[in-house]
Structure 1
Amino acid sequence: MASRVDGWFLLLSALALISAGNAAWMLIDPAYWYSDLPAGVPDFGNYNEHFVRDIGCAFLTFALALAWAAFRPATRAPLVAISAVFFVAHALLHIYDTARGFVEADHWWLDLPGVYTPAVLLMAMTYRLIGDAPAPTNARL
């Protein structure tokens, strides 16, 4: 049996761990996440503990999807594509809010590492995985 530890496994595992860490922070201490994440979260509106935890649940979901994709190569294309939809939509919302002046222009840079980069990376990964995906089979998910 071929080893599952390849470049995709490592990249997907890293992204899953980052998403899981962010989710844990949002779920365990939402007030601290809101005030201390170096992305200017308070610039977007008032603190809402429930809403931060809701988003934490979304990040936990994507952490699990990316981890599943890491360990199950046959599931990579659809799971990464679904994750990319959220991250790209999230990035587009940030672009819209910054472009219309809802937040200061420094958010172009503040949002680069945590919002725009993951969206571009997951989009590129989706494109690559869909191109590399084998024909559909009755493979077990």
Structure 2
Amino acid sequence: MSRIVALALAVILVGNGLAMLFASFWWYNAVPGVTATGAFNPHFVRDIGAAYLVAGLGAAWFLWRPVQGWPALVAGALFLLLHAAIHVFDASCSANPLADVIRDLPGVYLTALAAVWLAIAHRPGR
């Protein structure tokens, strides 16, 4: 099960990061809710895309070499967790928080939970 989750995370996060880096405007218009966050800023989208790419490569490294890749997985999980926390805060300040949480559930919250679960479940010395 862990290998499937790590593979899914790697594919999703790397794919999202590459889309943000190389098809920023398409990504901005394709992902639900993004256009409501403000005007398109290609530099900002690419910056976050780089973080997603690194998180995905960390999951891939963990998949390939679990012991050596675990620290990279943890770093990626931390980014995803902090990113999810920002979304929770923003949703709590919005006019329709439940709708925002539901919209962000698959792409923001579930990826963060999956990465954190993998990191905790496979910590060294366990």
- Give the TM-score of the pair, scaled to structure 2: 0.89
Q: Say if 2:9 and 2:115, in contact at 8 Å, map to a contact too.
A: no
Identical amino acids, percent of aligned pairs: 34
Deviant stretches of 4+, over 4 Å: none
Name stretches of at least 5 consecutive residues in structure 1 with no aligned partner.
Answer: 1-6, 136-141
Distance 2:121 2:75 in 1: 14
Q: As a proportion of its length, which structure holds more helix? A: 2
Taking the aligned partners of 1:31 and 1:72, their CA distance within structure 2 comes to: 35
Structure 2 residue 115 is the aligned partner of structure 1 residue 127: no
| Residues in 2 aligned to 1:84 and 1:70: alpha-carbon distance in whole angstroms | 14
Q: Which structure would you say has the larger Rg?
A: 1
1:77 aligns to 2:70 (yes or no) = yes
| Per-residue deviation, residues 78-130 of structure 1 (Å, max 9, x unmatched) | 222211110110000000011012x6432111000001111112222222112
Seen in structure 2, the aligned counterparts of structure 1 residues 50 and 34 have a Cα distance that, compared at 3 Å, is same
Q: Which amino acid in 2 is paired with 1:90? A: H
What is the match of residue 3 of structure 1?
Answer: none
Q: Is the 8 A contact 1:12 1:69 kept in 2?
A: yes
Measure the CA separation in 2 of the matches of 1:61 and 1:76: 12
* Paired letter, 1:134: G
Secondary structure, aligned partner of 1:47? coil
8 A contact 1:16–1:67 mirrored in 2: yes
Is 1:28 aligned to 2:37, yes or no? no
The letter of the residue matching 1:119 is A
Partners of 1:24 and 1:76 lie apart in 2 by: 21
Instruction: Please point out which of 5, 24, 38 is paired with 1:11.
Output: 5
Q: Is the 8 A contact 2:5 2:114 kept in 1?
A: no
TM-score by length of 1: 0.80
Alpha-carbon offset, residue 32 of structure 1: 0.9
Mark the runs of 5 or more structure 2 residues left unpaired by the alignment.
none
Indicate the RMSD between aligned Cα atoms, in angstroms.
1.7
Contact 2:2 2:118 in 1 (8 A): no
